[in-house]
């Protein structure tokens, strides 16, 4: 039966990343959640996306019936068994009440649907709601992308080695500890590195380059065509996404794809979206100097809220960049398409399409932002599609209320939460 990944109202807790893509397209571990489900099912899956993301990401089958799967849930064995046993016209809830999956015809969805599924909506459609004792691993908020990254790397490692082609380590100057936990995919290059996989798996993907003097310790996902700079120091539970460049010191962080932190500087307990760039010697604080629990900007609450975390670094949305020697304070949140520069610490929350830093922010003009994106993407032989531009235009419009210094163009803007 066809399977469809969906989002629920929790998508707001993954902003700014879900401004530009659904939650199931976010990367942590080796894969996105879509790729993870496709690996487990052995086939492609369809998807339903929210509002303005729909034209780019919604793909529904014409089948009379399908299995709908919450796109932020890990495809563990218990979920696969539930999928096999799912009964027609039935929705299944986890032990904590979150919607796990449902079986019903796509044609049942209302014509003017916002792209999110909820238990209340499925009840309105007449589905039987069944409570289960299952509690599979699922993402609840953006910080889970680094908090759960070690577990996701271990889970994905088992999936990846089923089909990936292993290559022998031929470099005589590379030192490996825990060789059974190291998988080097065919086409990867490792030279004069130190790899300590005794405490968890290390996967180095096809076309990836680990350059001289790099040190990798504890679980890591070095995705296809990523590059570790000379002398890079990677300490534990990090993902370097496809075509990313990583250097300096990195701890428990996720670079989703096509992003660069190639130079010296520290990145800890942080998440970079796609097409981000950190200038040379950029440093992020991931621990307050009084060792207190940290507050972080919440898009849901529209203010900083207590995370309960002692370690929390930078969150940076797609296409955002910073100049050399930038210093980010603990738990800084940067939106989409921000350009940050200048001395001192930038604010703890930098709205999407912002320009500036500690001395003040102005609006990053939309046309100029697109010009930069096109140049950056051309360097990697990628194009900014018309759909991408339409999504970014919607983000620019809907995030205007977070930029208090400008007159936004919405005639009667809904609340910021509804805009998200």
Residue 409 is predicted with a pLDDT of: 39
Residue 111 is predicted with a pLDDT of: 82
Q: Which helix (H) or strand (E) holds 372?
A: helix 366-379
**What percentage of residues in the chain have a pLDDT greater than 90?**
94
pLDDT score of 408 more than 70: no
pLDDT score of 81 more than 50: yes
Q: pTM here?
A: 0.93
Could you tell me the pLDDT band of residue 407, with boundaries at 50, 70 and 90? low
pLDDT score of 255 more than 90: yes
Residue 405 is predicted with a pLDDT of: 85
Residue 243 is predicted with a pLDDT of: 98
Residue 415 is predicted with a pLDDT of: 40
Give the span between the Cα atoms of 102 and 48, in whole angstroms. Answer: 13
pLDDT score of 413 more than 80: no
Q: What is the pLDDT of residues 90-130, one digit of tens each?
A: 999 999 999 999 999 999 999 888 999 999 999 999 999 99
**What percentage of residues in the chain have a pLDDT greater than 70?**
97
Q: How many helices (H) and strands (E) does the chain have?
A: 9, 37
Check: CB of residue 249 under 8 Å from CB of residue 159.
no
pLDDT score of 136 more than 50: yes
Q: What is the pLDDT of residues 151-195, one digit of tens each?
A: 999 999 999 999 999 999 999 999 999 999 999 999 999 999 999
Question: If you average pLDDT over residues 323-348, what whole number do you get?
Answer: 96
Domains of the chain listed by start with CATH number? 3-131 (3.90.550), 144-367 (2.160.10.10)
241-259 burial string, b = 16+ CB within 10 Å, else e? bbbbbbbbbbbbbbbbbbb
Got the DSSP string for 295-358? EEEETTTTEEEE---S----EE-TT-EE-TT-EEPTT-EE-TT-EE-SSSPPPSEE-TTEEEET
How many residues make up the chain in this entry?
420
Question: If you average pLDDT over residues 124-152, what whole number do you get?
Answer: 96
Question: If you average pLDDT over residues 392-401, what whole number do you get?
Answer: 96
- Give CA separation, 289 vs 110, 251, 270, 292, in Å: 52, 18, 18, 8
Check: CB of residue 11 under 8 Å from CB of residue 26.
no
pLDDT score of 420 more than 60: no
- Give every CB contact of residue 256 below 8 A, 6+ residues apart in sequence: 17, 26, 27, 239, 241, 244, 271, 272, 273, 274
Tell me the two tokens of residue 351: 């709205």
Residue 416 is predicted with a pLDDT of: 45
Residue 64 is predicted with a pLDDT of: 85
Check: CB of residue 54 under 8 Å from CB of residue 7.
no
């Amino acid at each position: 039966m066809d399977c469809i990944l969906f989002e629920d109202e929790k998508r707001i807790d993954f902003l700014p990343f879900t401004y530009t893509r659904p939650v199931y397209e976010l990367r942590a571990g080796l894969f996105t959640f879509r790729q993870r489900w496709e690996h487990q099912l052995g086939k492609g899956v369809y998807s339903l996306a929210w509002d303005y993301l729909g034209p780019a990401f919604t793909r529904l089958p014409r089948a009379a019936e399908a299995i709908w799967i919450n796109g932020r849930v890990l495809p563990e064995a218990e979920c696969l068994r539930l999928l096999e046993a799912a009964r027609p016209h039935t929705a299944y809830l986890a032990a904590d009440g979150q919607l796990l999956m449902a079986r019903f015809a796509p044609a049942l969805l209302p014509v003017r649907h916002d792209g999110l599924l909820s238990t209340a909506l499925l009840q309105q459609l007449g589905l039987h709601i069944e409570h289960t004792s299952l509690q599979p691993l699922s993402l609840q908020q953006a910080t889970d992308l680094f908090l759960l990254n070690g577990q996701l790397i271990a889970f994905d490692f088992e999936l990846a080695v089923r089909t990936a082609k292993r290559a022998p380590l031929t470099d005589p100057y590379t030192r490996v500890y825990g060789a059974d936990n190291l998988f080097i995919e065919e086409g990867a290059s490792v030279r004069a590195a130190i790899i300590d996989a005794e405490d968890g798996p290390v996967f180095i993907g096809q076309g990836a380059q680990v350059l001289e003097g790099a040190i990798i310790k504890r679980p890591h996902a070095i995705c296809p065509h990523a590059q570790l700079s000379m002398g890079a120091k990677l300490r534990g539970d990090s993902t370097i996404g496809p075509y990313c460049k990583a250097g300096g010191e990195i701890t428990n962080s996720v670079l989703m794809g096509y992003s660069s932190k190639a130079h010296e500087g520290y990145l800890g307990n942080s998440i970079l979206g796609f097409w981000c760039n950190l200038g040379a010697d950029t440093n992020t604080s991931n621990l307050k100097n009084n060792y207190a629990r940290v507050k972080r900007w919440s898009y849901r609450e529209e203010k900083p809220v207590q995370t309960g975390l002692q370690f929390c670094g930078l969150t940076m949305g797609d296409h955002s960049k910073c100049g050399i020697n930038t210093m980010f304070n603990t738990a800084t949140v940067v939106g989409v398409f921000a350009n940050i520069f200048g001395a001192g610490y930038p604010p703890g929350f930098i709205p999407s399409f912002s320009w500036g830093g500690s001395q003040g922010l102005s609006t990053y003009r939309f046309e100029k932002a697109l010009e930069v994106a096109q140049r950056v993407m051309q360097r990697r032989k990628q194009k900014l599609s018309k759909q991408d531009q339409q999504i970014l235009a919607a983000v620019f419009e809907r995030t205007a209320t977070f930029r208090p210094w400008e007159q936004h163009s919405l005639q009667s803007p809904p609340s910021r939460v509804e805009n998200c």
